Structure 1
Amino acid sequence: MPRLTDARKELRRAQITEAAVRCFSRNGLERTSIADITAESGLSTGSIYAHYRNKADLVQASAQAVLAKRAEVLGDYAASDTPPDPDELLARLVAAINPAEARVGVQTWGEATTNPAIHAIVVDMIDRMRAMVRDCVTAWLVKVERLAPAEARERAHPIADRVQDLYLAQLLLTALNSPNSPNSPTEEASS
């Protein structure tokens, strides 16, 4: 059997994590099985296990994939000549929220309260996102507000924390109001 190239392995891993996110969003973390992810991805169970040891690995990979998307966007904002101010940064982050990813994120937060492995993933992801938001706010303070880098880093902390907290609150609201959520406005209207 031919071996997969590194690029092909990454494509396959992405295919699996995207299928996992769809399943987690639709069925919930607890009710999603590897068999569900296998069916959703169109791959064999052996292929899933060749890339991931278990469902916890898939949850971690899914969270990292979502964070990677935000990291790319935040990195672009911070690197631009005129990074967005905190209000605009928050508006852009909120506009980019994917309801399916929001549902998976909120489910992952819930699982983090009882599962130490998931807890570590969630804390790491939130901390990494907070650091990226802080970098973006720091860049805005330096490039637009013309503060010295040391002062900008110091002043960025509370501003970035507020942006991150408001973003997480909006993520929760999006998850609660999305079409696949129980008692969402869409489901109530169709009942």
Structure 2
Amino acid sequence: MPRLTDARKELRRAQIAEAAVRCFGRSGLERTSIADITAESGLSAGSIYVHYRNKAELVQAAARAALAERAAIIGEWTAGDTPPHPDELPARLVAGKDPAAARVAVQTWGEATTDPAIRAIVVDMIDELRAMLHDCVVAWLVKVEHHEPAEAGRLATPIAERVTALYLAELLRVALHPPAEGTPS
């Protein structure tokens, strides 16, 4: 049997995680089985278990992929000459967000209330998001509002807390009320 290269392993892991997100978005975390993910991905159950030990690992992979996507966007804003105003960040972060992915996020939050492994994932993801938003707000305060970096760091903390909370609320809105076809989110 040929060995998978690292690149091929990562592609396979992404294929499985994407199939899991589609299943979670359609049926929910609780009602989605590994058999559902197997059918959706077109792979064997054995192949799924080679890459992920259980459903919690798939949830974590999906959360990491979503965070990486947001991190890339926030990183571009932070590095830019004119980072967006903090009040714009929540709406910008959900712009074009797939409602199925938003539903998976909300379902994951629900699972986090009773499953310690999922709770750890959610807390970690929100903490990482808050830190990235903090950096973006600091960049805005320094580059646009012309604050000193130390003062900007201090001022950014409560703003990043508020932006994080508003983003999570916007994500819930997208999950519950997805935009109609052809309309901007």
Both structures adopt the same fold (TM-score exceeding 0.5): yes
- CA distances 1:45-93 after superposition (whole Å, capped 9, x unpaired): 1110010001111011111111110011101110111111112222311
Matches within 5 A, 1:161-172: 161-172=161-172
Partner in structure 2 of residue 106 of structure 1: 106
Matches within 5 A, 1:127-138: 127-138=127-138
1:120 paired with 2:126, answer: no
Q: C-alpha separation between the residues in 1 aligned to 2:64 and 2:127?
A: 12
Partner in structure 1 of residue 36 of structure 2: 36
Count of aligned positions: 181
Moved more, 131-140 or 90-99: 90-99
Moved more, 92-101 or 114-123: 92-101
Which consecutive residues of structure 2, in runs of 5 or more, have no partner in the other structure?
none
Shift of 1:162: 1.2
Q: C-alpha separation between the residues in 2 aligned to 1:111 and 1:151?
A: 38
Q: C-alpha separation between the residues in 2 aligned to 1:145 and 1:54?
A: 47
Q: C-alpha separation between the residues in 2 aligned to 1:96 and 1:147?
A: 32
Structure-2-length-normalised TM-score: 0.94
Q: C-alpha separation between the residues in 2 aligned to 1:86 and 1:140?
A: 8
Q: C-alpha separation between the residues in 1 aligned to 2:97 and 2:23?
A: 18
- CA distances 1:111-136 after superposition (whole Å, capped 9, x unpaired): 00000000100000111111111110
Partner in structure 2 of residue 160 of structure 1: 160
Partner in structure 1 of residue 89 of structure 2: 89
Q: C-alpha separation between the residues in 1 aligned to 2:84 and 2:161?
A: 16
1:64 paired with 2:61, answer: no
Shift of 1:146: 1.1
Q: C-alpha separation between the residues in 1 aligned to 2:114 and 2:139?
A: 37
Shift of 1:20: 0.3
**RMSD in angstroms over aligned alpha carbons?**
1.5
Q: C-alpha separation between the residues in 1 aligned to 2:144 and 2:4?
A: 47
1:13 paired with 2:13, answer: yes
